[in-house]
């Protein structure tokens, strides 16, 4: 990006409203992952796109101030670590890695399917953070400078 100031006031105003709708939709997809098509990855990508909308509209300077990048890195690592820990709990409870060891509940209910919603949430956070951080780093790179050839 040439300037870090972002786009015009119209885009900024629209983004301010639409981002929250997109985040809401992302969480809807993530939380209903065990009932409908979608789930962790799909919802996570929508989450990342919501944050990337802010990046496009407001520029990378504002985005980095608004979202604490260091914190996002930690959340990314912690989410996959929690995923592994829940998987290892499966070994200790029922003897198989990633075993579904919580009560399954009733079919078609939001709170059901044991560990699958937990995994969906963790995967969603991981995908969102990874994708957002990857694109942020690519966008921040100054393509004209940096070579020492």
Partner 1 sequence: MIVYILCFVLFLVGLYGVLTKRDLVKIILSVGIMGYAANLFLILFAYKSDSFYPILTEGKENLSRVDPLPQALVLTSIVIELGTTALLVALAIKLYQKYKTFDITKIRRLSG
Partner 2 sequence: MILPYFIIIPLLAAFIITLIGGKKDTWGIALSIAAIVIMMVLSIYSFVIGKTETVTYSMSNWDIPIGICLVQDALSLFVLIIINIIALTSLLFSIQYIRHLSPDWKYYALFMLLITGMNGVVLTGDIFNLFVFMEIALFSAFALVAYGGKAEEFEASFKYAIMGSVSSVLILVGIAITYATTSTLTMAKIATILPQTEPIVMLMIGALFMVGFGLKAAAMPFHAWLPDAHSSAPAPISAMLSGVLIKALGIYVLMRIFFNVFGAVQIFKEIFIVLGAISIIVGVILALGQWDMKRLLAYHSISQIGYILLGMGLGTYLGLLGAIFHLLNHAIFKSLLFYNAGSVEIALGTRNLKEMGNLTKVMPISSSTSLIASLSISGIPPFNGFFSKLIIIIAALEVNAPWVAFIAIIGSLLTLASFMKVQRYGFRGEKIVEKIEDKIGLNMKIAMITLAVLCVVTSALIIPGIREVILDPVVNVLLDSSKYIQMLVGS
Q: Enumerate binding residues for partner 1 (CB under 8 A).
A: 36-37, 41, 107-108, 131, 134, 137-138, 141, 143-149
Q: Is the dihedral of CA 63, 64, 66, 72 positive or negative?
A: positive
Single out the residue of 39, 40, 44, 90 in contact with partner 2 (rule: CB under 8 A). 90
The smaller minimum CB distance to partner 2, of residues 21 and 84, is found at 84
Single out the residue of 1, 24, 71, 91 in contact with partner 2 (rule: CB under 8 A). 91
Q: How far is Cα 133 from Cα 120, in angstroms, rounded to an integer?
A: 20
Lay out the site mask for partner 2 across 36-75 (x = CB under 8 A, - = otherwise). -------------------------------------xx-
Helices (H) then strands (E): counts for the chain: 4, 0
Residue among 64, 51, 27 nearest 140 (CA):
64
């Amino acid at each position: 990006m040439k300037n870090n100031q972002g786009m015009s006031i119209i885009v900024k105003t629209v983004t301010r409203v639409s981002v929250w709708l997109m985040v809401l939709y992302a969480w809807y997809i993530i939380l209903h992952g065990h009932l409908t098509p979608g789930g962790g990855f799909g919802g996570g990508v929508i989450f990342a796109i919501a944050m990337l909308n802010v990046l496009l509209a407001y520029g990378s300077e504002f985005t980095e101030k608004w979202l604490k990048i260091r914190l996002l890195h930690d959340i990314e690592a912690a989410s996959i670590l929690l995923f592994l820990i829940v998987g290892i709990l499966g070994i200790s409870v029922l003897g198989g890695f990633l075993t579904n060891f919580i009560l399954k509940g009733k079919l078609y209910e939001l709170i059901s399917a044991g560990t699958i919603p937990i995994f969906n949430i963790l995967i969603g956070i991981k995908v969102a953070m990874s994708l957002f951080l990857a694109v942020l780093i690519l966008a921040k790179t100054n393509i004209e400078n940096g070579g020492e050839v």
